């Protein structure tokens, strides 16, 4: 158990809908990262938050957005869903920023299926 929790575990929805994925980082971790794992794109970095502020952005679509709340949990919002958004979405957390050596601890993921 990494200490990172994600809810829900599975999500099935229809095209055009909007969903919210939730992540609670390990106790004390300030950074939260979101990754998408799909069959055609592999594991890709989406976005990072550090202590409530957006810190880095990867290949995140404009239809997707995220935020980190004062209690450090994070939500990833996916809207106008398309079939191609079906994927496993991972959240990871780490202790602090500013060093290249931080280990990122991954949650179990949320499997999103868009029908």
Asked if residue 65 binds another protein (CB under 8 A), the reply is no
- Does the protein bind another protein through residue 36 (CB under 8 A)? no
* 8 Å CB contact between 92 and 33: yes
Q: Going by C-beta distance under 8 Å and a sequence separation of 6 or more, which residues neighbour residue 50?
A: 30, 31, 32, 68, 97
DSSP state of 106: E
Mark the segment that binds another protein (CB under 8 A) among 11-19, 22-30, 76-84, 99-107.
99-107
- Per rule CB under 8 A, is residue 90 in the interface with another protein? yes
- Closest distance of CB 22 from another protein, Å: 15
* Prior bond of 109 cis (ω within 30°): no
User: What number of chain residues touch another protein (CB under 8 A)?
Assistant: 28
Q: Say whether residue 48 binds another protein (CB under 8 A).
A: yes
**Could you say which residues in the range 8-27 bind another protein, by CB under 8 A?**
none
The H or E element that residue 77 is part of is strand 74-78
């Amino acid at each position: 158990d990494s200490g990172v929790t994600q809810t829900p575990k599975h999500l099935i929805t229809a095209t055009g809908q909007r969903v919210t994925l939730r992540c609670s980082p390990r106790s004390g971790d300030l950074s939260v990262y979101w990754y998408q794992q799909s069959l055609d794109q592999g594991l890709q970095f989406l976005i990072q938050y550090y202590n409530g502020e957006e810190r880095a952005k990867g290949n995140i679509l404009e239809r997707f957005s995220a935020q980190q709340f004062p209690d450090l949990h994070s939500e990833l919002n996916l809207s106008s869903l398309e079939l191609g958004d079906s994927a496993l979405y991972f959240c990871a957390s780490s202790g602090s920023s500013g060093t290249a050596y931080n280990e990122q601890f991954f949650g179990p993921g949320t499997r999103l299926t868009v029908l």
